[in-house]
């Protein structure tokens, strides 16, 4: 016991030290904090620029922070309004609409950037109402990469490319046909676009129908791969299974020197006679309101927009810079890939920076998926428009908070009277020793768990985005519970999603418990050889970060290139298109989640089994009970107290397990495999930041789970 105790003390000390040295360093007046989401060569370029600026301004410190792309907007929107954010941040112009609304970005002072020095298209993208909100640094759009061994010349039209003579088994083209970002280029060749100038959905036009008919034709002819993803497209091109791919500058670093390729702007579509115009995003250096007040930060932004900086961004970071005069530099002029992308920018269409753009992606993607599966494009687009309009409906009118406050007051009063009547002082006094054991847990959970949750729940009574939150009473709840005026079991309705969620939870929990308990019991056999090794290996699905493994599973369920179909093929099963039907898509999700979750149940079982005194099990053996009887009559009942919390909480967590559904099926087909919590996340993060509506979903989920657990308790109580 003694030595172990020492180890514990040492560990605790080490932890304490590790925690102690984290006190915030003083941010001096000569420090500029800069956030970005760059990695690889682009990160090296910004680091180089930071050190050059530090050299030019002695005593200055540029503190760079690389934030993961997925956490970037959330972190910025949490920090900047409270003065904790950066002085300068680099982001795409597409988010400017949201950032202006959240007061994350301030206008760039007019003398910082000389308009004559930048590409007009880039400058326009970062301006609004005659004011500049960023210094444009680089531009990104897609172009055509073609393998020069297979295609000596860039094709003049898409039709030429599809008809090109290629070796057996080589696809003419690979691109993410199921993504609206890529499809926008085809759409533009027919004269269409996703959003019009007023932020209304414009995909449901004749142009939209014709573009969808074209992609369906391409897939049916096997000219492009089915179920494409970024990783698949890269791999097909790198392994010469595709002669050309549509991709952005980012593809360059993934390809390395595996293929000999050139880049050209996207070709024309012969049947419309027009060029495919890709969507353009402009990356710019933006100032936070705090940063805009600091001359040093403004200087740094000005430096990032200079010719010198542009050359570093282009040569080190391989970026298509927006600064015009940088392109006369020999290093840039000698880079054909960069030059091709610069040409492609000229025929591109800047992405809308309206916050409504966010709400357009999911319906547009769903319409494209349907068309790829062969459904009627016109109906698919009409449905997409309905979903877009529904998600962007103006918030309900504000209502007076008085009735709710009165009700709340009365409820609180009644509750406190009830508590005061039921508890006697003597009981409380007798409870004092117990409170000594529980006080710290109560305090921590109250402050860091309950209060944030209650604050979250309170937002469900509000509507609109964060800066014009208005009180709307129970309007959000009414809208959800009436399926927003649609059919009660219609697409995406609360009740239909609830049924899917219940099915999802039951399947998962049953399999988790069955597999976990079975393995736990097997691995607790005292005489089993290699027991420790088995145990350590079987926790791996829990140990490896689930983001990677969930995506590995998604890849394994790919129709054409996935391992699951390859394995099934060995026993003669025809390839299954896993994500095109509800039943198979749910199977894929459940398989992944069972894989992720069984080790937890196994570990809990092993832990619980070791707590059971061996004498009890031995006594049953002496009684002559068979193994099977011993398991059901002795082991399982003894496991129950330890397993029950794991099963109840496991069920609750599965009910709210958003990641696996999001990463594996992504709701496919057509949102049918979405569960309630993914619906909540969609309202918060992909439908114009409607936090109030999302919070109402969360409260309803909470209410449902509460009722379900209460009902199970009652039912269990009656059973025993």
Q: What residues between 37 and 56 interact with other proteins by CB under 8 A? A: 37, 39-40, 44
CB of 712 to other proteins, least distance (A): 12
* Comparison of 328 and 720: residue with beta carbon closer to other proteins: 720
Query: What per-residue string of b and e applies to 294-332 under the rule 16 or more CB within 10 Å gives b?
Result: bebbbbbbbbbbbeebbbbbbbbbbbbbbbeebbebeeb
CB of 688 to other proteins, least distance (A): 15
Distances (CA, A) of 251 to 68, 170, 256, 372: 19, 20, 9, 25
* Comparison of 110 and 607: residue with beta carbon closer to other proteins: 607
CB of 91 to other proteins, least distance (A): 10
Q: Please report the sign of the dihedral spanned by the C-alpha atoms of residue 457, residue 460, residue 465, residue 468.
A: negative
CA nearest 647: which of 591, 707, 709, 586? 709
Instruction: Decide: helix, strand or coil at residue 524.
Output: coil
Strand partners, 118: 323
* Comparison of 227 and 672: residue with beta carbon closer to other proteins: 227
Secondary element (H or E) of residue 63: strand 61-66
How many other CB atoms are there within 10 angstroms of residue 443's CB atom?
10
Residues 111-170 that bind other proteins (CB under 8 A): 140
Residues 352-371 that bind other proteins (CB under 8 A): none
CB of 307 to other proteins, least distance (A): 26
Residues 297-336 that bind other proteins (CB under 8 A): none
Residue with tokens 């449901």: 204
Q: How many residues does the chain have?
A: 720
* Comparison of 439 and 488: residue with beta carbon closer to other proteins: 439
Strand partners, 558: none
> Which one among 46, 96, 321, 701 touches other proteins, defined by CB under 8 A?
701
Pairing between strand 462-463 and 470-471?
A: antiparallel
Phi-psi category of residue 530: left, alpha or beta, with phi > 0 → left and psi -120 to 50 → alpha: left
CB of 690 to other proteins, least distance (A): 10
How many other CB atoms are there within 10 angstroms of residue 47's CB atom?
18
CB of 303 to other proteins, least distance (A): 21
Instruction: Report the alpha-carbon distance of residue 154 to residue 158 in Å, rounded.
Output: 10
Taking residues 71 to 110 in sequence order and writing x for each that binds other proteins by CB under 8 A, - otherwise, the string is x--xx--xx--x-x-------x------------------
Residues 588-607 that bind other proteins (CB under 8 A): 595, 599-600, 603-604, 606-607
* Comparison of 184 and 251: residue with beta carbon closer to other proteins: 251
* Comparison of 67 and 112: residue with beta carbon closer to other proteins: 67
CB of 162 to other proteins, least distance (A): 22
CB of 337 to other proteins, least distance (A): 16
* Comparison of 5 and 718: residue with beta carbon closer to other proteins: 5
* Comparison of 211 and 459: residue with beta carbon closer to other proteins: 459
> Which one among 10, 13, 56, 69 touches other proteins, defined by CB under 8 A?
69
> Which one among 2, 3, 6, 18 touches other proteins, defined by CB under 8 A?
18
CB of 619 to other proteins, least distance (A): 13
* Comparison of 337 and 648: residue with beta carbon closer to other proteins: 648
The contacts of residue 471 (CB under 8 Å, 6+ apart) are: 398, 399, 400, 401, 461, 462
* Comparison of 542 and 631: residue with beta carbon closer to other proteins: 542
How many CA within 13 A on the CB side of residue 157?
Answer: 10
Query: Total number of residues binding other proteins (CB under 8 A)?
Result: 152
* Comparison of 238 and 496: residue with beta carbon closer to other proteins: 238
CA 376 to chain centre: 29
CB of 382 to other proteins, least distance (A): 30
CB of 238 to other proteins, least distance (A): 6
> Which one among 14, 220, 506, 711 touches other proteins, defined by CB under 8 A?
14
Secondary element (H or E) of residue 261: strand 261-264
* Comparison of 179 and 306: residue with beta carbon closer to other proteins: 179
CB of 512 to other proteins, least distance (A): 13
Instruction: Report the alpha-carbon distance of residue 456 to residue 701 in Å, rounded.
Output: 13
Instruction: Report the alpha-carbon distance of residue 18 to residue 34 in Å, rounded.
Output: 26
- Which two three-digit tokens encode residue 224? 């492009």
Q: Which long-range contacts (CB under 8 A, 24 or more apart) does 40-45 make?
A: 40/253, 41/253, 41/316, 41/317, 41/318, 42/313, 42/317, 42/318, 42/319, 43/317, 44/316, 44/317, 45/312, 45/313, 45/316, 45/317, 45/319
Instruction: Report the alpha-carbon distance of residue 148 to residue 155 in Å, rounded.
Output: 11
* Comparison of 544 and 619: residue with beta carbon closer to other proteins: 544
502 near other proteins (CB under 8 A): no
Distances (CA, A) of 65 to 90, 253, 294: 11, 22, 19
Distances (CA, A) of 93 to 126, 286, 481: 6, 10, 37
* Comparison of 455 and 488: residue with beta carbon closer to other proteins: 455
Residues 256-295 that bind other proteins (CB under 8 A): 256, 258
CA angle 414, 420, 426 (to 5 degrees): 165
Residues 627-666 that bind other proteins (CB under 8 A): 638, 641-642, 644-646, 648-649, 652-653, 656, 658
Residues 521-580 that bind other proteins (CB under 8 A): 522-523, 525, 527-529, 532, 534-549, 551-553, 555-556, 558, 560-563, 566-567, 569-570
Residues 231-250 that bind other proteins (CB under 8 A): 231-232, 234-235, 238-239, 248, 250
CB of 416 to other proteins, least distance (A): 13
* Comparison of 29 and 419: residue with beta carbon closer to other proteins: 419
Residues 429-468 that bind other proteins (CB under 8 A): 430-431, 433-438, 440-442, 444-445, 447-453, 455-457, 459-460
251 near other proteins (CB under 8 A): yes
Q: Is 442 exposed, middle or buried (0-12, 13-18, 19+ CB in 10 A)?
A: exposed
């Amino acid at each position: 016991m003694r030595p172990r105790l020492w180890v514990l003390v040492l560990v605790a000390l080490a932890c304490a030290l590790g925690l102690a040295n984290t006190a915030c360093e003083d941010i001096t007046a000569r420090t500029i904090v800069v956030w970005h989401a760059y990695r690889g060569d682009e990160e090296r370029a910004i680091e180089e620029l930071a050190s050059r600026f530090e050299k030019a301004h002695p005593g200055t410190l540029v503190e760079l922070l690389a934030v993961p792309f997925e956490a970037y907007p959330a972190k910025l929107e949490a920090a900047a309004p409270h003065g904790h954010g950066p002085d300068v941040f680099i982001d795409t112009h597409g988010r400017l609409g949201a950032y202006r609304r959240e007061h994350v970005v301030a206008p760039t002072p007019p003398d910082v950037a000389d308009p004559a020095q930048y590409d007009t298209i880039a400058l326009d993208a970062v301006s609004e109402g005659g004011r500049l909100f960023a210094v444009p640094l680089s531009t990104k759009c897609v172009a055509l990469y073609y393998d020069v061994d297979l295609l000596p010349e860039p094709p003049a039209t898409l039709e030429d490319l599809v008809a090109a003579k290629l070796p057996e088994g080589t696809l003419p083209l690979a691109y993410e046909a199921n993504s609206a970002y890529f499809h926008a280029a085809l759409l533009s060749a027919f004269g269409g676009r996703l959003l019009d100038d007023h932020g209304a959905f414009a995909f449901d036009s004749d142009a939209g129908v014709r573009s969808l008919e074209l992609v369906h034709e391409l897939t049916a002819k096997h000219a492009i791969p089915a179920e494409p993803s970024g990783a698949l497209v890269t791999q097909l091109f790198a392994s010469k299974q595709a002669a050309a791919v549509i991709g952005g500058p980012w593809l360059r670093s993934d390809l390395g020197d595996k293929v000999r390729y050139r880049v050209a702007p996207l070709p024309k579509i012969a049947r419309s006679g027009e060029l495919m115009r890709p969507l353009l995003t402009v990356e710019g250096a933006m100032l936070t309101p705090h940063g805009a007040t600091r001359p040093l930060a403004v200087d740094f932004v000005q430096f990032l927009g200079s010719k010198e900086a542009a050359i570093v961004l282009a040569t080190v970071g391989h970026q298509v810079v927006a600064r015009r005069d940088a392109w006369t530099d020999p290093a840039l002029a000698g880079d054909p890939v960069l030059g091709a992308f610069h040409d492609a920018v000229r025929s591109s269409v800047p992405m809308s920076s309206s916050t409504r753009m966010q709400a357009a992606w999911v319906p547009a993607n769903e319409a494209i998926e349907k068309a790829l599966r062969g459904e009627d494009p016109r109906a698919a687009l009409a449905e997409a428009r309905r979903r877009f309009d529904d998600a962007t409906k103006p918030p309900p009118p504000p209502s007076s908070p008085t009735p709710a406050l009165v009700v709340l007051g009365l409820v609180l009063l009644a509750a406190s009277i009830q508590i005061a009547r039921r508890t006697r002082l003597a009981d409380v006094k007798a409870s004092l020793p117990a409170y000594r054991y529980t006080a710290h847990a109560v305090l921590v959970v109250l402050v860091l768990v309950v209060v944030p949750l209650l604050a979250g729940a309170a937002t469900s009574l509000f509507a609109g985005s964060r800066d014009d939150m208005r009180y709307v009473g129970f309007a959000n709840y009414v809208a959800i519970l009436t399926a927003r005026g649609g059919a009660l079991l219609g697409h995406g309705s609360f009740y239909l999603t609830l049924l899917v969620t219940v099915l999802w939870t039951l399947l998962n929990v049953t399999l988790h418990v069955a597999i976990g308990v079975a393995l736990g019991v097997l691995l607790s056999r005292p005489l089993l050889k290699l027991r420790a090794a088995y145990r350590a290996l079987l926790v791996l699905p829990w140990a490896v970060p689930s983001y990677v493994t969930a995506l590995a599973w998604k890849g394994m369920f790919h129709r054409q290139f996935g391992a699951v179909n390859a394995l099934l093929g060995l026993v003669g099963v025809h390839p299954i298109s896993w994500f095109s039907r509800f039943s198979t898509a749910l199977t894929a999700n459940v398989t992944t989640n069972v894989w992720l979750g069984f080790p937890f149940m196994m570990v809990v079982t092993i832990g619980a089994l070791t707590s059971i005194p061996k004498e009890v099990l031995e006594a049953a053996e002496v009684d002559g009970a068979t193994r099977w009887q011993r398991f059901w009559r002795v082991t399982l009942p003894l496991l129950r107290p330890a397993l029950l919390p794991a099963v109840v909480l496991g069920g609750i967590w599965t009910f709210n397990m958003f990641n696996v559904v999001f990463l594996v099926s992504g709701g496919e087909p057509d949102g049918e495999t979405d569960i309630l919590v993914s619906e909540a996340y969609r309202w918060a993060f992909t439908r114009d930041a409607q936090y109030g509506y999302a919070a109402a979903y969360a409260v309803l989920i909470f209410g449902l789970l509460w009722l379900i657990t209460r009902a199970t308790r009652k039912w269990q109580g009656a059973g025993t």
